[in-house]
Every structure is written in C-alpha cells, then in structure tokens.
C-alpha cells in the first residue's frame, strides 16, 4: 500500500481558513481526486472553501496546469500554419462559432474549435450543428488533423482524453452549488483550451440577463483571470466583454440558429450577429499574426461560405439539406403601437428550453426544430397586431409553460422612451 504525499483534510483546513495551497499540494490533490483516492465529499468541501475564500493567481495557474497534466495535450505544430480558437461563456442565441470558424479559416489560420452541448437555457454548438442531416460531432484525432489541414477549420466534440480531471470536477461542482467560483470556472475553461494545443485564444465573456455571470464586474474578473492563465501558458490570449442582456440575433434554438448563421455567411443576417462575428474574427486573426485581413469582404464574397460548406461535407453533413421544421407554431403579436423597449435574454432562453430546444440533464435529447424566432428587437417600432416573436415546438402543449417564461420579459413603450438593452454589444477588450 503506497503512502500518500499529503492528507486531504489538512489541505481542506488550509483553504477553509483562507490560506494558500502550495504547488505540490495542488498537483497531488488533482491527481488523487482523478484516481479516486480523494472522495467526492472531500473535494466538495474543498470546492466550497475555494468558492468562499478564492485563490491566488499562482494557485489558479497551478490548478489549471494540474488539470491539463491529468490527460493528453494536442500539438498542431505539424500543420505548418498558425492556430487560433475562440471560447464563449455562453448565452441566449449565441451561434457565433458557426460563422466565425469558417471566416477565420478562410484566411489560412487553422481553427480547432472543440465545442460542447447545451445545458439549461444556454445552447450548445454541437446540438445546433446536429440539426444538419448526417453531420457528426465525434472525430478521431487523425480526422481532426486531416480536416484542419485540408479545410482549415473544424467544430467537433472534445475527446475524453483532454483534462479528465476537469470533467470529473465540473460534474461535482454542478451538484454542490460551486459552479460560479471564478477560480474554478477559469481553470475549467482554460485547462481544456490550453490542452487543446491552440497557439492563440480569444474569449467571449458574456455579462447581463442571459449570461452565466450577470454582473459585468464579475465577468471582467473572470476574463482577466483567464487571459492571465493563457499568457502564463504561452498562449496569446485576449477577451471581449459582450452584452447578453438581450438575445443575440433573431433566433434561439438549434436548426433556426443554423439558418441564421448561413445568412451571415451569405453576407446578411442580423446586425448584432454580424458585428460580433467580425470583431471576434479580427481578434483571432490578429493574435495569429494576420493583421490586414478584410474580414467583411470574406463574408460578403463567399470565401467563408465555401469553407463552411467544405467543413460540413467533411463531417458527413449535407449543407444543402433541408433543416428540421417544427409542426406547431404560436405567434405573439403587439397589443399597441409603440417601440419595443425591453426584451430580456434569460426568460427567452428558458422559454426555448421549455419548448424542447435545450436539456435539463446531460443525457436528455434536444428537439432540433424547437425554438423561438424574434421578429422585433429593442428599439424597433411596432404596430398593433404585428408579430413580436414566434414559438416553435413539436407538441403544442409546450406553449403554455414557454409563454409563462416570457411573461413580463418584453415591453412596448412610447416613442422617445429609453430602450433597456444594457448598452453596446461589445463593452470592453481585455488583453495586450
């Protein structure tokens, strides 16, 4: 029987009492928890102590590197071209990865976008893409490398070998009320992104009603922490703080968000989706050393669309296939003339989830045709009887609870009344 280097109870007491853990202690803790020596209830106590007392920058870096060391690290140096990736903290209607990956890849920068599935009111990129007939998320490392070489970009599921300690720890945080701890969020996100092997990373950190962290100050703290972790690991990293007080774009769901993404790739689409796609593309390209890219031109002249179609084909999908359409719809109309002055993101995200577009548990399926189409955005003039939004579902019985979710979430005011949209879409840039 081997003798362990540390006693986990001593480490819990240190953190409980506001002390800092040494590098060797953190390395041992992560390894011992991954292999099952440290029990879930002990790690639960540790995560709560971290939630209450925080961690120093060095501790967060050590925790991140220990989680990376628990699994494999990918290496894209053999591609012969720079790599750049993006991570979003998630929001309502956030489909930016779909047009962004092919746009950046069209400039010769490889984009290894390892994405996830949705849980609760925030949608998952893989769920959206699985609306496309035949498209598959699970690729081998060899398939991923080949697609990066031949197409330039890939959106796929992360393999089980990347930061397995994080996978185990995240599941524990989810059931112990410690998900929102900034040191744990930052190390969770950055352990996977650093292990993924990209040389540049742009973070889209949301704040507001539909965001993971509502308060901009907390979002700023998270962004700064993650940028520091990236830089410490030798990854060129920056972050944009972006507004999630209102839904992004005009669609919330899966198949309908794919349709909107294709509109953006065709040079159209909602102004906010296009604005954020272009801003993130410029950041990703600049960090990869491409500073003179005409990103607007690549959206408008079809180059990004060509890369999109090639990537969908490469993963078994048909970019020309019809996307799922819900058999049941319900449209809400304006009861008066005026201006739409409020439209809160979170209630619309919850409504889309209740329609079937999201999942309550990781094992639940999603309904790809379910969701919400918005016909008006804050600041738009409306007339009595005009459609405000349309709900889509496979079962009309779902409409009642979805409508309950958005009750009071939107308001029509008089011309000249202040629009409650939380300010500009991009609030701040953090990084060098």
Is the predicted pLDDT of residue 379 greater than 70, yes or no?
A: yes
Report pLDDT for 266.
96
> Is residue 84 among the annotated active site residues?
no
Report pLDDT for 29.
97
b/e string for 344-354 if b means 16 or more Cβ within 10 A? bbbbbbbbbbb
Residue whose token pair is 């079809």 = 302
Tell me the per-residue pLDDT of 65-96, one tens digit each, with 9 for 90 and over.
999 999 999 999 899 999 999 999 989 999 99
Q: Do the two domains 77-158+192-321 and 328-413 of this chain adopt the same fold?
A: no
Tell me the per-residue pLDDT of 244-291, one tens digit each, with 9 for 90 and over.
999 999 999 999 999 999 999 999 999 999 999 999 999 999 999 998
Domain ranges (residues) in the chain: 77-158+192-321, 328-413
Tell me the per-residue pLDDT of 231-248, one tens digit each, with 9 for 90 and over.
999 999 999 999 999 999
Q: Which of 88, 188, 209, 405 is catalytic?
A: 188
Residue whose token pair is 């500073």 = 291
Tell me the per-residue pLDDT of 28-55, one tens digit each, with 9 for 90 and over.
999 999 999 999 999 999 999 999 999 9
User: How many Cα atoms are found within 13 Å in the side-chain-facing hemisphere of 375?
Assistant: 15
Is the predicted pLDDT of residue 417 greater than 80, yes or no?
A: yes
Is the predicted pLDDT of residue 120 greater than 70, yes or no?
A: no
* End-to-end CA gap in the chain: 50
Report pLDDT for 308.
98
Class (C level, CATH) for 77-158+192-321: alpha beta
Report pLDDT for 121.
66
User: How many Cα atoms are found within 13 Å in the side-chain-facing hemisphere of 303?
Assistant: 17
Is the predicted pLDDT of residue 315 greater than 90, yes or no?
A: yes
Higher pLDDT residue, 54 or 3? 54
Is the predicted pLDDT of residue 180 greater than 90, yes or no?
A: no
Segment among 123-132, 168-177, 309-318, 394-403 with least mean pLDDT: 168-177
Domain 328-413: what homologous superfamily? Pyrimidine nucleoside phosphorylase-like, C-terminal domain (3.90.1170.30)
Average pLDDT, the chain: 94
Strand partners, 111: 153
C-alpha dihedral (54, 57, 60, 66), degrees to nearest 10: -150
Q: Which of 15, 173, 193, 206 is catalytic?
A: 173
> Is residue 272 among the annotated active site residues?
no
Q: Is residue 368 within 8 Å of residue 328, measured between CB atoms?
A: no
> Is residue 192 among the annotated active site residues?
yes
Report pLDDT for 399.
98
CA–CA dist 253, 373 (Å, integer)? 9
Tell me the per-residue pLDDT of 192-204, one tens digit each, with 9 for 90 and over.
999 999 999 999 9
Segment among 19-23, 156-160, 400-404, 416-420 with least mean pLDDT: 156-160
What is the band of 1 on the pLDDT scale with cuts at 50, 70, 90?
Answer: low
Across the range 177-205, mean pLDDT stands at 93
Is the predicted pLDDT of residue 356 greater than 80, yes or no?
A: yes
Q: Which of 86, 95, 192, 274 is catalytic?
A: 192
> Is residue 44 among the annotated active site residues?
no
CA–CA dist 33, 169 (Å, integer)? 9
CA–CA dist 236, 241 (Å, integer)? 17
Strand partners, 190: none
Report pLDDT for 365.
82
> Is residue 77 among the annotated active site residues?
no
Q: Which of 27, 62, 85, 166 is catalytic?
A: 166
Across the range 325-351, mean pLDDT stands at 97
Picking from 286, 250, 189, the residue whose alpha carbon sits closest to that of residue 387 is: 250
Report pLDDT for 362.
66
Is the predicted pLDDT of residue 363 greater than 80, yes or no?
A: no
Is the predicted pLDDT of residue 119 greater than 80, yes or no?
A: no
Report pLDDT for 160.
77
What is the band of 105 on the pLDDT scale with cuts at 50, 70, 90?
Answer: very high
Across the range 136-158, mean pLDDT stands at 94
Report pLDDT for 118.
67
3-state secondary structure the chain: CCCCCCCHHHHHHHHHCCCCCCHHHHHHHHHHHHCCCCCHHHHHHHHHHHHHHCCCHHHHHHHHHHHHHCCCCCCCHHHCCCECEEEECCCCCCCCHHHHHHHHHCCCCEEEEEECCCECCECCHHHHHCCCCCCCCCCCHHHHHHHHHHCCEEEEECCCCCCHHHHHHHHHHHCCCCCCCHHHHHHHHHHHHHHHCCCEEEEEEEECCCCCCCCHHHHHHHHHHHHHHHHHCCCEEEEEEEECCCCCCCEEECHHHHHHHHHHHCCCCCHHHHHHHHHHHHHHHHHCCCCCCCHHHHHHCCHHHHHHHHHHHHCCCCCCCCCCCCCEEEEEECCCCEEEEEECHHHHHHHHHHHHHCCCCCCCCCCCCCEEEECCCCCCEECCCCEEEEEEECCHHHHHHHHHHCCCCEEEECCCCCCECCCCCEEEEEEC
CB atoms within 10 A of CB 224: 17
Report pLDDT for 115.
86
């Amino acid at each position: 029987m081997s003798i362990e280097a540390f006693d986990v109870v001593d480490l819990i007491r240190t953190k409980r009492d506001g002390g800092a853990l040494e590098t060797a202690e953190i390395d041992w803790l992560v390894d011992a928890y991954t292999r099952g020596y440290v029990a879930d209830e002990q790690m639960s106590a540790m995560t709560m102590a971290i939630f209450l007392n925080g961690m120093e920058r060095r501790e967060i870096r050590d925790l991140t590197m220990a989680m990376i060391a628990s699994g494999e690290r990918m290496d894209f140096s053999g591609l012969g071209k720079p790599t750049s990736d993006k991570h979003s903290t998630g929001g309502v209607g956030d489909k930016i990865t779909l047009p962004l990956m092919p746009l950046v890849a069209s400039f010769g920068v490889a984009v290894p976008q390892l994405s996830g599935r949705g849980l609760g009111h925030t949608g998952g990129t893989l769920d959206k893409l699985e609306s496309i007939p035949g498209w598959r998320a699970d690729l081998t490392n060899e398939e991923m490398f080949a697609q990066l070489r031949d197409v330039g970009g890939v959106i796929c599921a992360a393999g089980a070998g990347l930061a397995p300690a994080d996978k185990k720890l995240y599941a524990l945080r989810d059931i112990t009320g410690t998900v929102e701890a900034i040191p744990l969020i930052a190390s969770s996100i950055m352990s996977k992104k650093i292990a993924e092997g990209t040389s540049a990373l742009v973070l889209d950190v949301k704040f507001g009603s539909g965001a993971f962290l509502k308060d901009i100050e907390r979002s700023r703290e998270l962004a700064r922490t993650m940028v520091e972790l990236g830089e410490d690991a030798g990854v060129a990293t920056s972050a944009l703080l972006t507004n999630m007080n209102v839904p992004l774009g005009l669609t919330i769901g899966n198949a309908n968000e794919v349709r909107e993404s294709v509109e953006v790739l065709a040079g159209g689409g909602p102004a906010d989706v296009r604005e954020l796609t272009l801003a993130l593309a410029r950041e990703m390209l600049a960090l990869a050393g491409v500073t003179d890219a005409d990103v607007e031109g690549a959206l408008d002249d079809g180059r990004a669309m060509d890369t999109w179609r090639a990537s969908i084909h490469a993963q078994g999908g048909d970019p020309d296939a019809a996307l799922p359409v819900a058999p049941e719809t319900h449209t809400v109309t304006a009861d008066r003339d005026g201006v739409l002055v409020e439209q809160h993101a979170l209630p619309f995200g919850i409504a889309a989830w209740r329609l079937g577009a999201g999942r309550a548990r990781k094992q639940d399926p999603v309904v790809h045709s379910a969701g919400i189409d918005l016909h008006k955005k804050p600041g738009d003039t409306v007339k009595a009887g005009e459609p405000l939004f349309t709900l889509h579902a496979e079962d009309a019985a779902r409409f009642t609870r979805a409508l309950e979710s958005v009750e009071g979430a939107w308001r029509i005011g008089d011309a000249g009344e202040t629009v409650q949209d939380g300010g500009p879409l991009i609030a701040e840039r953090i990084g060098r």
